Amino acid sequence: MEPVRLSKRMAELGLCSRREADEYIAKGWVRVDGVVVDVLGSKVLPTQRIELQRQAQAAQAQRVTILINKPVGYVSGQAEKGYEPAVVLIKPDNLWAGDKSGLRFSRDHLQGLAPAGRLDIDSVGLLVLTQDGRVAKTLIGEDSDVEKEYLVRVTGRLPPDGLALLNHGLSLDGERLKPARVEWQNNDQLRFILKEGKKRQIRRMCEQVGLRVVGLKRIRIGRITLGELPQGKWRYLRSDERF
Protein backbone atom coordinates (compact mmCIF):
# COMPACT_ATOMS: atom_id res chain seq x y z
CA MET A 1 0.00 0.00 0.00
CA GLU A 2 1.68 3.19 -1.24
CA PRO A 3 1.50 6.48 0.71
CA VAL A 4 -0.05 9.45 -1.13
CA ARG A 5 0.13 13.21 -0.61
CA LEU A 6 -2.16 14.30 2.19
CA SER A 7 -3.75 17.03 0.04
CA LYS A 8 -4.50 14.52 -2.72
CA ARG A 9 -6.05 12.09 -0.26
CA MET A 10 -8.20 14.84 1.28
CA ALA A 11 -9.52 15.73 -2.18
CA GLU A 12 -10.20 12.05 -2.96
CA LEU A 13 -12.24 11.81 0.24
CA GLY A 14 -14.26 14.87 -0.75
CA LEU A 15 -13.14 16.85 2.29
CA CYS A 16 -12.06 19.82 0.16
CA SER A 17 -10.14 20.69 -2.99
CA ARG A 18 -6.38 20.15 -3.16
CA ARG A 19 -5.80 23.91 -3.07
CA GLU A 20 -7.95 24.21 0.04
CA ALA A 21 -6.20 21.17 1.56
CA ASP A 22 -2.79 22.87 1.23
CA GLU A 23 -4.22 25.98 2.89
CA TYR A 24 -5.66 23.99 5.81
CA ILE A 25 -2.48 21.94 6.26
CA ALA A 26 -0.30 25.07 6.33
CA LYS A 27 -2.57 26.57 8.99
CA GLY A 28 -2.44 23.44 11.15
CA TRP A 29 -6.14 22.69 10.68
CA VAL A 30 -5.74 19.02 9.68
CA ARG A 31 -5.32 15.96 11.91
CA VAL A 32 -4.11 12.55 10.77
CA ASP A 33 -4.91 9.77 13.25
CA GLY A 34 -5.47 12.49 15.83
CA VAL A 35 -2.14 14.28 15.26
CA VAL A 36 -1.89 17.75 13.67
CA VAL A 37 -0.01 17.71 10.35
CA ASP A 38 1.15 21.13 9.15
CA VAL A 39 3.90 20.28 6.66
CA LEU A 40 2.99 20.69 2.98
CA GLY A 41 3.79 17.60 0.91
CA SER A 42 3.23 15.22 3.84
CA LYS A 43 2.12 11.73 2.81
CA VAL A 44 -0.40 9.38 4.36
CA LEU A 45 -1.60 5.82 3.90
CA PRO A 46 -5.14 5.33 2.53
CA THR A 47 -6.07 3.60 5.80
CA GLN A 48 -5.24 6.59 8.01
CA ARG A 49 -8.01 8.75 9.50
CA ILE A 50 -8.07 12.38 8.34
CA GLU A 51 -10.08 15.04 10.14
CA LEU A 52 -10.61 18.75 9.60
CA GLN A 53 -10.40 20.90 12.70
CA ARG A 54 -13.12 23.37 13.68
CA GLN A 55 -11.37 26.29 11.99
CA ALA A 56 -11.36 24.51 8.62
CA GLN A 57 -15.01 23.52 8.99
CA ALA A 58 -15.90 27.14 9.82
CA ALA A 59 -13.99 28.37 6.76
CA GLN A 60 -15.88 25.91 4.55
CA ALA A 61 -19.22 26.98 5.99
CA GLN A 62 -18.53 30.56 4.88
CA ARG A 63 -17.86 29.59 1.24
CA VAL A 64 -20.76 30.29 -1.07
CA THR A 65 -22.12 28.71 -4.24
CA ILE A 66 -24.09 30.89 -6.64
CA LEU A 67 -26.60 29.92 -9.34
CA ILE A 68 -27.06 32.22 -12.33
CA ASN A 69 -29.55 32.09 -15.18
CA LYS A 70 -26.95 33.12 -17.77
CA PRO A 71 -28.16 35.14 -20.76
CA VAL A 72 -26.66 34.96 -24.27
CA GLY A 73 -23.56 37.11 -24.70
CA TYR A 74 -21.74 36.28 -21.45
CA VAL A 75 -18.86 33.82 -21.12
CA SER A 76 -18.65 31.38 -18.21
CA GLY A 77 -15.10 32.15 -17.10
CA GLN A 78 -12.54 34.83 -17.93
CA ALA A 79 -13.51 37.73 -20.21
CA GLU A 80 -12.65 37.00 -23.84
CA LYS A 81 -13.02 38.68 -27.26
CA GLY A 82 -14.72 41.69 -25.71
CA TYR A 83 -17.39 39.62 -23.95
CA GLU A 84 -17.96 39.96 -20.22
CA PRO A 85 -17.83 37.02 -17.79
CA ALA A 86 -21.07 35.97 -16.11
CA VAL A 87 -19.62 36.91 -12.71
CA VAL A 88 -20.29 40.60 -13.50
CA LEU A 89 -24.00 39.80 -13.06
CA ILE A 90 -23.42 39.00 -9.39
CA LYS A 91 -24.33 42.28 -7.76
CA PRO A 92 -26.98 43.17 -5.18
CA ASP A 93 -29.55 44.59 -7.61
CA ASN A 94 -29.45 41.36 -9.67
CA LEU A 95 -30.13 39.08 -6.68
CA TRP A 96 -33.41 37.26 -7.33
CA ALA A 97 -36.23 38.40 -5.05
CA GLY A 98 -37.13 34.73 -4.57
CA ASP A 99 -33.76 33.85 -2.97
CA LYS A 100 -34.46 31.93 0.25
CA SER A 101 -30.87 31.30 1.40
CA GLY A 102 -30.95 33.84 4.22
CA LEU A 103 -27.52 35.12 3.07
CA ARG A 104 -26.72 38.78 2.60
CA PHE A 105 -24.49 39.80 -0.30
CA SER A 106 -20.88 40.54 0.60
CA ARG A 107 -17.96 41.51 -1.65
CA ASP A 108 -16.13 38.60 0.01
CA HIS A 109 -18.47 36.26 -1.87
CA LEU A 110 -16.75 37.25 -5.13
CA GLN A 111 -13.29 36.23 -3.93
CA GLY A 112 -12.13 32.95 -5.47
CA LEU A 113 -15.49 32.44 -7.17
CA ALA A 114 -15.07 30.18 -10.21
CA PRO A 115 -17.41 28.46 -12.69
CA ALA A 116 -18.01 24.76 -12.02
CA GLY A 117 -18.63 23.82 -15.63
CA ARG A 118 -19.00 25.72 -18.89
CA LEU A 119 -21.98 27.19 -20.68
CA ASP A 120 -20.95 28.72 -24.00
CA ILE A 121 -21.58 32.30 -25.01
CA ASP A 122 -24.58 31.46 -27.23
CA SER A 123 -26.28 29.31 -24.58
CA VAL A 124 -28.53 30.29 -21.67
CA GLY A 125 -29.61 28.75 -18.40
CA LEU A 126 -28.15 27.35 -15.23
CA LEU A 127 -24.53 28.24 -14.50
CA VAL A 128 -22.84 27.43 -11.18
CA LEU A 129 -20.07 29.55 -9.67
CA THR A 130 -18.56 28.44 -6.38
CA GLN A 131 -15.91 29.19 -3.77
CA ASP A 132 -16.22 25.62 -2.47
CA GLY A 133 -13.77 23.03 -3.81
CA ARG A 134 -16.12 20.22 -2.76
CA VAL A 135 -18.82 21.54 -5.06
CA ALA A 136 -16.36 21.98 -7.94
CA LYS A 137 -15.10 18.41 -7.51
CA THR A 138 -18.66 17.06 -7.46
CA LEU A 139 -19.57 18.85 -10.68
CA ILE A 140 -16.38 18.85 -12.77
CA GLY A 141 -14.01 16.37 -11.10
CA GLU A 142 -12.56 13.61 -13.26
CA ASP A 143 -14.93 11.01 -11.81
CA SER A 144 -18.02 13.25 -11.76
CA ASP A 145 -21.20 11.59 -13.04
CA VAL A 146 -23.64 14.39 -12.17
CA GLU A 147 -26.35 14.75 -14.82
CA LYS A 148 -26.81 17.99 -16.76
CA GLU A 149 -30.13 18.51 -18.55
CA TYR A 150 -30.71 20.77 -21.56
CA LEU A 151 -33.54 21.84 -23.84
CA VAL A 152 -32.16 22.21 -27.36
CA ARG A 153 -34.01 23.83 -30.27
CA VAL A 154 -32.81 22.55 -33.65
CA THR A 155 -33.34 22.86 -37.39
CA GLY A 156 -32.62 20.26 -40.06
CA ARG A 157 -33.69 16.71 -40.78
CA LEU A 158 -32.65 13.87 -38.45
CA PRO A 159 -31.76 10.62 -40.29
CA PRO A 160 -33.54 7.39 -39.21
CA ASP A 161 -30.67 6.33 -36.94
CA GLY A 162 -29.94 9.88 -35.75
CA LEU A 163 -31.66 9.68 -32.37
CA ALA A 164 -29.96 6.37 -31.58
CA LEU A 165 -26.57 7.88 -32.47
CA LEU A 166 -27.20 10.89 -30.22
CA ASN A 167 -27.99 8.56 -27.33
CA HIS A 168 -24.85 6.48 -27.85
CA GLY A 169 -22.66 6.12 -30.88
CA LEU A 170 -20.86 9.42 -31.49
CA SER A 171 -17.27 10.46 -30.86
CA LEU A 172 -15.66 13.86 -30.35
CA ASP A 173 -11.95 14.67 -30.47
CA GLY A 174 -11.18 11.01 -31.10
CA GLU A 175 -12.98 9.83 -27.95
CA ARG A 176 -16.23 7.90 -27.79
CA LEU A 177 -18.85 9.85 -25.86
CA LYS A 178 -20.50 8.45 -22.76
CA PRO A 179 -24.10 7.25 -23.19
CA ALA A 180 -26.58 10.14 -23.13
CA ARG A 181 -30.37 10.35 -22.90
CA VAL A 182 -31.79 12.25 -25.84
CA GLU A 183 -35.47 12.46 -26.82
CA TRP A 184 -37.82 14.76 -28.67
CA GLN A 185 -39.52 17.31 -26.43
CA ASN A 186 -41.66 18.66 -29.28
CA ASN A 187 -41.42 19.09 -33.06
CA ASP A 188 -38.26 21.20 -33.05
CA GLN A 189 -36.81 20.72 -29.57
CA LEU A 190 -34.73 17.91 -28.07
CA ARG A 191 -34.08 17.12 -24.42
CA PHE A 192 -30.47 16.13 -23.67
CA ILE A 193 -29.25 14.58 -20.40
CA LEU A 194 -25.46 14.26 -20.28
CA LYS A 195 -22.90 13.14 -17.70
CA GLU A 196 -19.98 14.91 -19.36
CA GLY A 197 -19.31 18.35 -20.77
CA LYS A 198 -16.90 18.60 -23.68
CA LYS A 199 -16.54 21.99 -25.36
CA ARG A 200 -19.69 22.81 -27.35
CA GLN A 201 -20.59 19.13 -27.05
CA ILE A 202 -24.29 19.29 -27.84
CA ARG A 203 -23.83 21.58 -30.85
CA ARG A 204 -21.12 19.31 -32.26
CA MET A 205 -23.20 16.16 -31.60
CA CYS A 206 -26.13 17.66 -33.47
CA GLU A 207 -23.92 18.66 -36.41
CA GLN A 208 -22.85 15.02 -36.79
CA VAL A 209 -26.45 13.95 -37.38
CA GLY A 210 -27.44 16.80 -39.70
CA LEU A 211 -29.02 19.16 -37.18
CA ARG A 212 -28.17 22.77 -36.35
CA VAL A 213 -28.71 24.12 -32.84
CA VAL A 214 -30.57 27.44 -32.81
CA GLY A 215 -31.22 27.59 -29.06
CA LEU A 216 -29.74 25.83 -26.04
CA LYS A 217 -30.85 26.14 -22.41
CA ARG A 218 -29.49 24.21 -19.40
CA ILE A 219 -32.32 23.59 -16.96
CA ARG A 220 -30.81 21.18 -14.39
CA ILE A 221 -27.52 20.11 -12.81
CA GLY A 222 -27.93 17.04 -10.62
CA ARG A 223 -30.84 17.74 -8.25
CA ILE A 224 -30.66 21.51 -8.72
CA THR A 225 -33.07 22.94 -11.31
CA LEU A 226 -33.21 26.38 -12.90
CA GLY A 227 -36.79 26.64 -11.68
CA GLU A 228 -38.26 30.15 -11.71
CA LEU A 229 -34.91 31.97 -11.60
CA PRO A 230 -35.28 34.77 -14.21
CA GLN A 231 -32.71 35.25 -16.94
CA GLY A 232 -29.87 37.54 -15.81
CA LYS A 233 -30.68 37.00 -12.12
CA TRP A 234 -28.80 34.94 -9.54
CA ARG A 235 -29.35 33.31 -6.17
CA TYR A 236 -27.34 31.52 -3.49
CA LEU A 237 -27.38 27.74 -3.15
CA ARG A 238 -29.25 27.10 0.11
CA SER A 239 -27.64 25.10 2.92
CA ASP A 240 -30.27 22.35 2.49
CA GLU A 241 -29.65 21.95 -1.26
CA ARG A 242 -27.32 19.35 -2.76
CA PHE A 243 -26.35 18.62 -6.35
List, for residues 94-117, the tens digit of each pLDDT value: 999 999 999 999 999 999 899 999
- Residue 60's pLDDT is 80
Residue 38 has a CB neighbour count (10 Å cut-off) of 12
- pTM of the complete model: 0.83
* Residue 224 to residue 115: CA distance in whole angstroms: 15
* Residue 10 to residue 52: CA distance in whole angstroms: 10
* Residue 36 to residue 34: CA distance in whole angstroms: 7
Confidence of residue 1 (pLDDT cuts 50, 70, 90): confident
Across 76-188, the runs of DSSP E, i.e. the strands, are 114-115, 124-130, 148-156, 171-172, 175-176, 181-186
Domain boundaries, the chain: 4-61, 65-143+224-236, 148-221
| Cα Dmax for the chain | 64
pLDDT of 123 > 90? The answer is yes
List, for residues 195-233, the tens digit of each pLDDT value: 998 989 999 999 999 999 999 999 999 999 999 999 999
Active site residues: 120
What does the mean pLDDT of the chain come to?
94
- Residue 157's pLDDT is 94
Which residue would you say has higher pLDDT here, 192 or 58?
Answer: 192
Reported residue count of the chain is: 243
Same topology between domain 65-143+224-236 and domain 148-221: yes
* Residue 166 to residue 194: CA distance in whole angstroms: 11
Domain 65-143+224-236, second-level architecture: 2-Layer Sandwich (3.30)
- Residue 80's pLDDT is 80
* Residue 159 to residue 89: CA distance in whole angstroms: 41
Q: What percent of the chain has pLDDT over 90?
A: 81
Is the Cβ–Cβ distance between 97 and 33 less than 8 Å? no
pLDDT of 89 > 90? The answer is yes
State the fold for domain 148-221. Alpha-Beta Plaits (3.30.70)
Amino acid occupying residue 164? A
Q: Which helix (H) or strand (E) holds 156?
A: strand 148-156
Residues 6 or more apart in contact with residue 186 via CB below 8 angstroms: none
Which residue would you say has higher pLDDT here, 14 or 121?
Answer: 121
- Residue 46's pLDDT is 92
Per CATH, domain 4-61 is 2.60.40.10: no
Q: Any bridge partners for residue 171, and if so which?
A: 176
List, for residues 49-81, the tens digit of each pLDDT value: 999 999 988 888 889 999 999 999 999 988 788
Is the Cβ–Cβ distance between 226 and 219 less than 8 Å? yes
